Amino acid sequence: MDTSINRKLATPNYLQRLSLSFSRDSALLGGILIILTVLMGFFILAPMLTMFAKSVQDLNGNFIGLSNFTAYFQSSAMLHSIANTVTVGLITTAIVGVLSFSYAYALTRSCMPFKTLFQIVGSAPILAPSLLPAISLIYLFGNQGIAKELLGGASIYGVIGITIGMAFWTFPHALMILTTALRTSDARLYEAATVLKTHPIKTFFMVTLPAAKYGVISTLILVFTLVVCDFGVPKVIGGSYNVLATDIFKQVVGQQNFAMGAVTSVLLLLPAVLAFMIDRHVQRKQQNLFDSRSVAYTPKPHKVRDGICLLFCSTIALAILAVIGMAIYASFVTFWPWNLSLSFNNYNFSEVSTYGWTPYFNSLTLASWVAVFGTVIIFIGAYVIEKGRGFGPIRQLLQMITIIPMAVPGIVLGLGYIFFFNDVNNPLNGLYATMILLVINTVVHYYTVGHMTALTALKQLPAEIEAISASIKMPQYKSFFVITLPICAPAIMDIAAYLFINALTTTSAVVFLYATDTIPASVSVLNMDDAGQTGSAAAMAVMILVTAALAKVIHLIAASFINKRTQAWRQK
Amino acid sequence: MNTYLNINNLVKKFGNFTALNDISLQINQGEFICFLGPSGCGKTTLLRAIAGLDLATSGSILQDGKDTTFLPPEKRDFGIVFQSYALFPNLTVAENISVGLHNQGKSVAEAVDIVNHWLGIIGLSDSAPKYPSQLSGGQQQRVALARALALSPGLLLLDEPLSALDAQVRSHLREEIRTLQRKLGITTIMVTHDQEEALAMADRIVVMNHGVIEQVGTPQEIYDKPASRFVAEFVGNMNFIASSVVSDEHIRIAETLLPKPKESLKRGDLFDLAVRPEDIQFSEDKQDLPVQIKAMEFQGTYVRTDCQLIGEMNAPMIKIDVPIREVRSLGLNNGEFRRIRYSNEFSHIFPRKLNQSATTNTSAVEV
């Protein structure tokens, strides 16, 4: 007893405590956290900061305050671009909002037949680069398009083309969120509405819409951001209709005016960040609408409603298939519109471009590396951030950095990478235009979604797993491999597939970062289209689509195989 | 008795919030200790500091003579069971128990023996190849217990292990844990907010509130001799009867003069006389407190009666638990005027809590 009371010693200082609490687990954890912090510093923070710096410098790198911005806002052409960007963003958002909500409603709340088929067709555009709908629309409604008359004399080049192209490309993104939002609905609310003799239309506005409210807001924000930040569609079909994203491209690639490119980027970043912040706010509110006590809603057959749903979904699905089908058909047409005989001529890429098939294989390499390397780093990163013990401040900092990439449009990120890595004074300059930098850039671009997926999976694990492991003397790395990894296998495969497909289809960031030997397929689509080789551009876009679809099929097969081995415990 | 765990002046702060304020506590080898208190009282924080899951801010913890205050959990010697079972969901029952054994360097054959031994003890021999999701809550918690104990740790920590279970399973498992703990003689700390559980299981109870220890004692001591008003209120039911000392011999409750229960009380003192409902009896003696029965609630083995003090309409009801046999022999009826008495031996004296009486008054008026 005496000794214990005399032991009221001075509390050990920070260093002593650190050495006392040192163990193999904490060393490993600390090491990974430090590496991750350094990587994120170099590949997320530094490029963004350099871009901000460039926007307040003149061409020689002298600080000139906000005069670049003043110059920008004095140019009527620039102001026009802003107005155009907002216009096309709002129109597309409204259209996609209505169409995708109705489509999702039909998929989740009706008893129409062929739901799986409609689900697949509705999601298909996600496998295509955004350039594909643009090229396809040119074949359909362009100057020599087969259905030109349908537009009644209006030109597809400009706001109409951009809107339809973006609507096609953003539709599956919207559909994904809305089907989730509408699927998790509490049947008891509908029973209560029926008991209260509420008219079905009133029920829709009283129950259905409020329950999906946050999903709808999220969708609208996402679609708007995607439209405003995409550069592929307006580049191909925009004609003289300038938007911010194409401005950046023209300023940087056309005029080598980096300062103005940086200013435009900052302007493009503003709505993206704003939208992102609203979305985060909304997401936080969304939780707990559907809890374990809720009863899932199952629709009952209703002839009129199901008929209308079937008709509507068929129309949309046909439109999607028409756009995809047109691109595929056009890629086989020998010489549009004069020689409509089918051949593989357009696939003979070495005929039309010095690169030949190289871009396609570059893209495969890029996508494979992004999938492998990205999945490993994203999952380990999410694990140490979520399940680490101690190092609280670093983990919080990393958690904040991981959400930055989502708010940064790809083209802005790409520009930041030029500024930072294409600087001869930067020791990392050697990375510029290499495949390694393309891989890193693409991983960063899609980091946040992968990170969120990993976090969601990790949060489903009991929080005490690590405490238990420590108490039974199981090293943390071992519990990671024995417990965490197998349980999260489905999420890990989802992340890998997501990264692979997006690395194949992305145009925005990589357009600034490729070299002649690393040019990806999506960029070559753009170049061939620019050079008037629309047929070959369509062919390459189709190659990307087919490869992405194949990757998805392989993902599904591999997932069912691996799930059988790792998820057996889920069966009751 | 050997002191196994020695906690001295332990402080834990989360920013400006002091979760543990200068905690000192000695736990003997083989003891079953319950940390009891309302949520947010610091009992779980103390358990986590002992496990090393949240390191203390200052103070010291000595386990088996070794200073463990700032050691990470993997360098300490304990087994832990959580409310949420926290079984490894993708491992079978047998694997859940054996995974720790392999880490300890046990051979496969040894591990199999130990696993079978423990599965036998917890009565789940047939469930070895099942996954946790195929077991009931009570079965899962048994596996969690076996997993914690299979490594023969020196200290067993139980963090509300029974709170997620149904009442029947809970009382059954309560006995099992207690029997097993006695058999193994393992020093055990259980965190609980369920006083019944603490009273039934513990050798000693540590009652905590607002990050400090209110009382340490055997269940009997805690129940019969609450050291503070908080303990008296928190553990079991207690009537607080407003009283005042009117002379050297007498106190006054409502309009009745009664003999002074404690010598130390001085004339003019205002205090609350605390008596448990089962320690009050109805009597015929004209000296005793007159009350009117306002409500009778049948509870099976006893009747809970609410009585109003005559002459003090604003005072809170006095609750009295009367065994069924006595209700019959006395012929108690609702609305009757009766007299009650208590014994000084089982009554306690606490200083009057002024704002408290104000609030109870208003609630009494509402009733």
Q: Do A467 and B78 touch (CB under 8 A)?
A: no
Q: Do B55 and A1 touch (CB under 8 A)?
A: no
Mutate to test the interface with B, among A5, A464, A478 (most CBs of B within 10 A): A464
pLDDT of residue B266: 83
Residues in chain B, pLDDT under 70: 1, 354-367
Q: What is the CA radius of gyration of chain A?
A: 26
Q: Say if residues B317 and B306 touch (Cβ distance below 8 Å).
A: yes
- Chain B's closest residue to A389, CA to CA, is B53
Specify if A173 maps to a domain.
yes
Pairing of strands B155-159, B79-82: parallel
Question: What are the CA-CA distances from residue A195 to residues A211, A305, A558 (Å)?
Answer: 19, 21, 47
Of B6, B70, B151, the CB nearest to A472: B151
pLDDT of residue A426: 84
Specify if A190 maps to a domain.
yes
Q: Which residues are CB-contacts of A113 (< 8 A; sequence separation ≥ 6)?
A: A310
Chain B residue numbers with beta carbons less than 8 Å from the beta carbon of A571 are 131, 133
Number of cross-chain residue pairs from A and B with Cβ atoms under 8 Å apart: 119
CATH architecture of the domain formed by B238-366: Beta Barrel (2.40)
Q: Which helix (H) or strand (E) holds B351?
A: strand B347-351
Specify if A416 maps to a domain.
no
Residues in chain A, pLDDT under 50: 1-9
pLDDT of residue A287: 57
* Structural tokens at position A58: 């003149």
**Identity at B212, one-letter amino acid code:** V
Number of domains present in the structure of chain A: 1
Q: What angle do CA A362, A128, A158 make, to 5 degrees?
A: 110
* Residues carrying CATH 3.40.50.300, chain B: 3-233
Of B62, B72, B87, the CB nearest to A23: B72
Q: Do B79 and A472 touch (CB under 8 A)?
A: yes
- Chain A's closest residue to B146, CA to CA, is A472
pLDDT of residue B356: 47
CATH number at residue A149: 1.10.3720.10
Q: How far apart are CA B298 and CA A301, in angstroms?
A: 52
Q: Which residue has the tokens 């009896």?
A: B281
Range of the domain at A134: 75-254+301-343
Q: Do A463 and B84 touch (CB under 8 A)?
A: yes
* Residues carrying CATH 2.40.50.140, chain B: 238-366
pLDDT of residue A258: 83
Chain B residue numbers with beta carbons less than 8 Å from the beta carbon of A486 are 90
Q: Say if residues B249 and B259 touch (Cβ distance below 8 Å).
A: yes
Which residues partner with B13 through β-bridges? B18
Q: What angle do CA B126, B129, B132 make, to 5 degrees?
A: 95
Specify if A33 maps to a domain.
no
Q: Do B90 and A5 touch (CB under 8 A)?
A: no
Specify if A149 maps to a domain.
yes
Specify if A407 maps to a domain.
no
Q: How far apart are CA B159 and CA B157, in angstroms?
A: 6
Mutate to test the interface with A, among B1, B2, B6, B90 (most CBs of A within 10 A): B90
Q: How far apart are CA A419 and CA A47, in angstroms?
A: 7
User: What is the model's pTM?
Assistant: 0.85
Chain B residue numbers with beta carbons less than 8 Å from the beta carbon of A465 are 86, 88
* Structural tokens at position B362: 């208003």
| Residue B185 backbone dihedrals phi, psi, to 5 degrees | 65, 30
Chain A residue numbers with beta carbons less than 8 Å from the beta carbon of B85 are 462
pLDDT tens for each residue of A73-103: 888 888 899 999 999 999 999 999 999 999 9
Q: How far apart are CA B98 and CA B106, in angstroms?
A: 9
The CATH class of the B3-233 domain is alpha beta
- Chain B's closest residue to A460, CA to CA, is B89
Q: How far apart are CA B207 and CA B37, in angstroms?
A: 6
Q: Which residue has the tokens 């001799």?
A: B225
Chain B residue numbers with beta carbons less than 8 Å from the beta carbon of A389 are 53, 72
Mutate to test the interface with A, among B7, B20, B74, B131 (most CBs of A within 10 A): B74
Specify if A482 maps to a domain.
no
DSSP 8-state code for residue A291: -
Q: Which residues are CB-contacts of A504 (< 8 A; sequence separation ≥ 6)?
A: A129, A363, A364, A366, A367, A521, A522, A544, A547, A548, A551
Q: How far apart are CA B189 and CA B35, in angstroms?
A: 7
- Chain A's closest residue to B89, CA to CA, is A569
